[in-house]
């Protein structure tokens, strides 16, 4: 019985994805770019997002570049305040009012979404091809609407599905993320924090988007529920070719889903590496420090810590932004380092000068 429900769920999601794709092609206005790899889902180039404050502009995202192919998951790791959540908002264009600068390229399915108007982006991209589970997702639900209606709403609005069918799909999604079906008629204040977070995850997956951005999706959940959620994400990824951008502080948990790891520091991506190489031998000194801070179950070595604090994003230092905390610093670190390429891997550090090709050269 459970197996039949799982198959039924997959069929409904595939139908929803097909409908969403048809809806996205109804618009006559598209902004395609040149030839790209057939398996390339998302390409981000020189993405910048700065916020205006009383003390000056905060350079939260400052020249970010990375690619994501279909059916892969990239995990973005880094300390608090490094710009991870701002990166997610920049990709999905969820911008606050105090934006000082927003530029770059976000190319999804060979369409530069930065050239779409706000209405085109809402109708063609947001929650159809890209969705998000925001940080503190359990507080993002509307307190005066039943949670079932909130989860079903994207299917009604974006895919034209009838309310009854959308509610049936919402019930199946609840079952998959571990929420009792009778909770469909409850209000958010009647659910625990963990349950509200699982409802938000169900809402992000219901339209079957090609890309889901997860900002600390399991931070309020117990260990067993975390494992269930990651198993769900892996199953969705395998069966539906869904790609993920996972933003997290928990490096050990992220290894469950990661195909690629992107390390962010002070608004910049300092390393992009395939997960199996990153977790065994990270290149950038900051990446190595992050990995050294993770406790090991069967090793006697105590976890290390990174001395100092991250630089201010209002007035970031010139040259390498990690230099003040780096134990491998040398004179050339006073100059902005280029990005060196090692196949599909990238590292922004002078230590690798002469070992890899320079990106863009």
Are 117 and 123 spatial neighbours (Cβ–Cβ below 8 Å)?
no
Are 272 and 341 spatial neighbours (Cβ–Cβ below 8 Å)?
no
User: Beta strand 211-215 with 243-248: parallel, antiparallel or unpaired?
Assistant: parallel
Shortest CA distance to 102 belongs to which of 51, 67, 55, 65?
51
* 161 DSSP assignment: -
Are 310 and 83 spatial neighbours (Cβ–Cβ below 8 Å)?
no
State the Cα angle at 10 between 39 and 88, rounded to 5°: 50
Task: Note the pLDDT tens digit of each residue in 134-193.
Answer: 877 667 899 999 999 999 999 998 888 999 999 999 999 898 778 899 999 999 999 987
Place of tokens 């109708």: 123
Q: What is the pLDDT of residue 238?
A: 81
Task: Note the pLDDT tens digit of each residue in 255-283.
Answer: 888 999 999 999 999 999 999 999 889 99
Task: Report the side by side order of strands in the sheet with 58-69.
Answer: 58-69, 40-51, 99-108, 111-112
Are 347 and 270 spatial neighbours (Cβ–Cβ below 8 Å)?
yes
Task: Enter the tokens of residue 42.
Answer: 């998302």
């Amino acid at each position: 019985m459970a197996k039949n429900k799982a198959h039924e769920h997959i069929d409904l999601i595939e139908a929803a994805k097909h409908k969403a794709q048809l809806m996205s092609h109804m618009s006559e206005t598209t902004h395609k770019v040149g030839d790209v790899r057939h398996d390339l889902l998302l390409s981000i180039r020189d993405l910048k997002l700065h916020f205006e404050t009383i003390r000056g502009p905060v350079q939260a995202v400052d020249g970010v570049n990375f690619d994501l192919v279909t059916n892969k998951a990239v995990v973005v790791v880094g300390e608090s305040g490094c710009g991870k959540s701002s990166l997610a908002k920049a990709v999905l264009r969820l911008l606050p009012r105090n934006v000082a600068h927003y530029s770059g390229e976000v190319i999804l399915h060979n369409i530069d979404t930065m050239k779409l108007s706000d209405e085109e982006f809402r109708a063609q991209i947001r929650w159809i091809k890209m969705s998000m589970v925001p940080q503190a997702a359990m507080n993002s639900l509307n307190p005066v609407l039943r949670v079932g209606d909130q989860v079903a709403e994207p299917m009604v609005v974006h895919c034209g599905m009838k309310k009854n069918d959308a509610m049936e799909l919402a019930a199946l999604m609840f079952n998959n993320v571990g929420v009792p079906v009778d909770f469909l008629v409850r209000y958010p204040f009647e659910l625990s924090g963990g349950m509200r977070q699982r409802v938000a995850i169900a809402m992000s997956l219901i339209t079957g988007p090609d890309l889901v951005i997860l900002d600390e999706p399991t931070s309020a959940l117990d260990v067993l529920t975390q494992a269930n959620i990651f198993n769900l994400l892996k199953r969705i990824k395998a069966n539906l070719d869904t790609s993920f951008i996972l933003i997290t502080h928990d490096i050990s948990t992220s290894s469950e889903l990661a195909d690629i790891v992107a390390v962010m520091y002070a608004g910049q991506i300092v390393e992009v590496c395939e997960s199996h190489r990153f977790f065994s031998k990270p290149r950038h000194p900051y990446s190595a420090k992050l990995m050294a801070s993770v406790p090991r179950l069967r090793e006697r070595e105590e976890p290390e810590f990174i001395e100092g604090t991250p630089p201010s994003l209002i007035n970031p230092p010139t040259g390498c932004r990690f230099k003040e905390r780096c134990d491998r610093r040398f004179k050339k670190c006073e100059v902005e380092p280029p990005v060196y390429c090692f196949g599909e891997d990238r590292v922004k550090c002078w230590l690798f000068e002469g070992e890899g090709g320079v990106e863009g050269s």
